[in-house]
Structure 1
Amino acid sequence: MKSLLINPVLNKEIKLRLRSLKSFLGILFYLATLGVIAIGFIYITTMHSQSGYIRPEESRFMFTVLSMVQLALIMFMTPGLTAGVISGERERQTLNMLLTTEQSSTSIILSKLISSVAFLFLMISASLPLYSIVFLYGGVSPGVLLATFGLYVMTIITIGSVGILFSTILQKTIVSMIATYGVALLLTAGTGFLTMFAMTAFYMGTGTQTNPAPYFMIMSNPAFVLMTIFEPNMKDEFVNRTGIDFPFWISFVISFGVITAVSLWISISKLRPRMKPSKRGRKKDA
């Protein structure tokens, strides 16, 4: 296990990603965006408030806005950081050299994944001081904050695994990036649209209010799971509509865990091409 996580490939990737000027500029603009949103929200709220202070309900809404913006940034940045890790090596004609080393396929894939998502982990960790603004005004518990960042970590790992999968099985980086963005869009907007359509069509067709199908459609949607963390009433209403009283966060962890495991397994198995013996070689052996 130690050789899988501590190896020359991981060390090289970490140094190249975290020591470049682009990485620090990316973190700077990332934090600046979240900071402008938080400060702008406080300014607008206090300007239109007669009392001149922020109530806990308004602070909770600011936390919701910040969390949804950060989730959108994560869904946008993760494919760009992971969808070219293997196909980029192939385009630079360095993949064959990497495969001739003593590193196993599992070690190479995990190293590429860890080095890619480490930058995103650094970014979301650097945003923690911005969330301290919310705790100054109250309205949000530490448990909600931990659940939110736990959802971020799970989303980054899963989308990153999907990006590495397409980067392994597809030849071109741009194609693998488009495919990864397509999966990310399907898991958010796609499942949301299908859930609304299924609930509306089923209710209008039968007249009943219990339809379990939307539960399985929406359980892999990180945006909806994040909203259920902020608004428990939304979760209760959805449970009444579907008739399934199973925690959404457990379903989310299971579904994303399966996607991550399958993606990594396919990536590891497809990394090294299986060479078939030629017909001439078969004749000589015979």
Structure 2
Amino acid sequence: MLVKLNPVFGKELRIFERSIKISVVIFIYNIILALVAFAIFYDMLHTSRFTGSVEYKSIIQIYIIMAYIQFGMLILIIPGLTAGAISGERERQTLDILLSTQLKPWQIIMGKLQSSLLVVLLLATTSLPIVSIVFVFGGIKIVDLLILILLLVVEAVFIGTIGLFFSSLFKKTTSATVLTYTTLLFIFVGTYLFVQGVYSFEQTKNTAIVDSVTDIKGAIYVLLINPIITFAGLISKQAGGSSEIMSICNQFGNYDNNLVVKYWIGISMVIQLALSTVFVVIAQAKINPLRECKLFKKGKRNT
């Protein structure tokens, strides 16, 4: 049985096919990856001429840098695509046409989200030949690469639904884009500053107490919604170094035996997907014309 393609997603696919922008983005993205990879690769081979061996650290470094470039491109591209998804339809006066079809509001939202995820998958897939350089010398398993792609998709969903939320909330794409990037800046930087602020406050309170250990306890869990922390934790784990998440958390107390910190990556992904679901529900409710009619009728009855 064939799965029916979302009509909105199908329309976005046709736009991608006719537009040269996505091809340019993919080209630039892979050029950057290739230049970085071959620069490290050349330096590694040059060093091996004198040492007589290939350093494992240099191979892992290629993987780490390419992973962070992929994540950085995701942060830059996805909000720009989703923040104008619904507001752009309003500006072109085509949203009412979409809503007048048999499509349900949630299908419109999911179609827009799928199109943004397609970009992530395209970037991840087209970069495989470059990333495969790492597998020539070993050190990184294919499973690690698949987990990395899975995390990138989850983060793309989370970031994308934030953009769709603001896009459905505001009529102007500019307003939606600004608020999307502002919210992401708070999630990336603000959550860490919040935890740092709580730690400083607790430290001030415990100054008068002799031999006291400052511990912010559950406040650290705010960082579970921070994609950068989760991503850094996965990369440090795959690189075989010390746990980046444990290092960050232990700055604010002793979390060596904390189960949440131990399974941070999985828990973080589940929480971010749950928040994404909430954003989708609110976004589809915001563009639902039947919802407005019901509210209007209730207003009439009250008067």
TM-score norm. by structure 1 comes to 0.87
Corresponding position of 1:244? 258
For residues 255-286 of structure 1, the C-alpha deviation after alignment (integer angstroms, 9 at most, x for no partner) is 2012101100001111124132599x98xxxx
Corresponding position of 1:230? 235
* Structure 1 range deviating more: 222-231 or 154-163: 222-231
What one-letter code is carried by the residue in structure 1 that aligns with 2:288? R
Corresponding position of 1:41? 40
Contact 1:17-1:115 within 8 A present in 2 as well: no
Contact 1:18-1:119 within 8 A present in 2 as well: no
The 2-side partners of 1:96 and 1:163 are apart by 20
* Structure 1 range deviating more: 86-95 or 11-20: 11-20
Displacement over 6 Å in runs of 4+:
none
Corresponding position of 1:14? 13
Corresponding position of 2:192? 192
- 1:9/1:231 Cα in 2 relative to 1: closer, same or farther (>3 Å)? closer
The 2-side partners of 1:119 and 1:92 are apart by 23
The 2-side partners of 1:229 and 1:100 are apart by 44
For residues 93-122 of structure 1, the C-alpha deviation after alignment (integer angstroms, 9 at most, x for no partner) is 111111111111121111111122212211
Contact 1:109-1:267 within 8 A present in 2 as well: yes
Matches within 5 A, 1:179-218: 179-199=179-199, 202=202, 205-206=205-206, 207-208=212-213, 210-218=215-223
5+ residue gaps in structure 2? 207-211
Count residues with an aligned counterpart: 280
What one-letter code is carried by the residue in structure 2 that aligns with 1:117? L
SS of 1:254's equivalent in the other structure is: helix
Matches within 5 A, 1:122-271: 122-199=122-199, 202=202, 205-206=205-206, 207-208=212-213, 210-232=215-237, 233-234=242-243, 235-237=245-247, 241-242=254-255, 244-246=258-260, 247-271=263-287
For residues 8-39 of structure 1, the C-alpha deviation after alignment (integer angstroms, 9 at most, x for no partner) is 32211111124422211111111111111111
TM-score norm. by structure 2 comes to 0.82
The 1-side partners of 2:113 and 2:165 are apart by 10
Corresponding position of 1:30? 29
- 1:53/1:66 Cα in 2 relative to 1: closer, same or farther (>3 Å)? farther
The 1-side partners of 2:196 and 2:139 are apart by 30
SS of 1:171's equivalent in the other structure is: coil
* Structure 1 range deviating more: 170-179 or 220-229: 220-229
* Structure 1 range deviating more: 90-99 or 195-204: 195-204
* Structure 1 range deviating more: 64-73 or 184-193: 184-193
What one-letter code is carried by the residue in structure 2 that aligns with 1:262? V
The 1-side partners of 2:286 and 2:259 are apart by 39
Contact 2:82-2:116 within 8 A present in 1 as well: yes
The 2-side partners of 1:53 and 1:175 are apart by 55
* Aligned-pair Cα RMSD in Å: 2.7
Question: Kindly, what percent of the aligned residue pairs are identical?
Answer: 27
1:249 positional shift: 1.4
Corresponding position of 1:119? 119
1:51 positional shift: 2.2
1:135 positional shift: 1.5
Contact 2:157-2:273 within 8 A present in 1 as well: no
For residues 146-203 of structure 1, the C-alpha deviation after alignment (integer angstroms, 9 at most, x for no partner) is 2211110000111111111111011110111111112222222222333444445545
Contact 2:117-2:153 within 8 A present in 1 as well: no
